[in-house]
Amino acid sequence: MADDNTPENSGYHALATLLESIEVGLVVIDLDYRVKVWNGFMENHSGMTANRIQNQSLFEAFPDLPKTWLTRKVQSVVTLNTRTFTSWEQRPYLFRFRNTRPVTGTEEFMFQNLTISPLTGTGGQVEQVCLMIYDVTDVASGRRALEHANEQLERLSSTDRLTGLLNRGTWENLLDAEFERYRRYGHNTVLVMFDIDHFKQVNDTYGHLIGDEVIREVARITREALRQADRPGRYGGEEFGIILPETDIDGALVICERIRETLATTVIHTDDGDIRCTVSMGLVQLTDEPENYMQWLQQADDALYQAKEGGRNRSVAIRP
Contacts with other proteins by CB under 8 A lie at 68-69, 76, 79-80, 82-87, 89-91, 113, 115, 134, 207-209, 271-272
Q: Which is nearer to other proteins, 215 or 259 (CB)?
A: 215
Q: Which is nearer to other proteins, 12 or 85 (CB)?
A: 85
Minimum CB–partner distance for residue 37 and other proteins (Å) = 21
Phi-psi region of 187 (alpha: psi -120 to 50; beta: other; left: phi over 0): beta
Instruction: List, in sequence order, the alpha helices (H) in the chain.
Output: 7-21, 40-46, 50-53, 58-61, 67-80, 137-156, 168-185, 199-206, 208-225, 249-265, 293-309
Beta carbons of 216 and 162 less than 8 angstroms apart: yes
Q: How far apart are the first and last CA of the chain?
A: 102
Neighbours of 103 (CB within 10 A): 4
Minimum CB–partner distance for residue 150 and other proteins (Å) = 14
In angstroms, the CA 102 to CA 99 distance is 8
Q: Which is nearer to other proteins, 146 or 177 (CB)?
A: 146
| Three-state DSSP class for residue 242 | strand
> How buried is residue 28: exposed, middle or buried, by Cβ count under 10 Å (0-12/13-18/19+)?
middle
Minimum CB–partner distance for residue 128 and other proteins (Å) = 18
Minimum CB–partner distance for residue 115 and other proteins (Å) = 7
Minimum CB–partner distance for residue 92 and other proteins (Å) = 9
Is the sign of the CA dihedral 15, 21, 24, 25 positive or negative?
A: positive
Q: Which is nearer to other proteins, 271 or 291 (CB)?
A: 271
Q: Which is nearer to other proteins, 81 or 100 (CB)?
A: 81
Minimum CB–partner distance for residue 11 and other proteins (Å) = 21
AA letter at 26: L
Q: Which is nearer to other proteins, 143 or 220 (CB)?
A: 143
Phi-psi region of 192 (alpha: psi -120 to 50; beta: other; left: phi over 0): beta
- Angle at the Cα of 64 (from 41 to 80), degrees rounded to 5? 75
Minimum CB–partner distance for residue 287 and other proteins (Å) = 45
Q: Which is nearer to other proteins, 15 or 229 (CB)?
A: 15
In angstroms, the CA 6 to CA 50 distance is 27
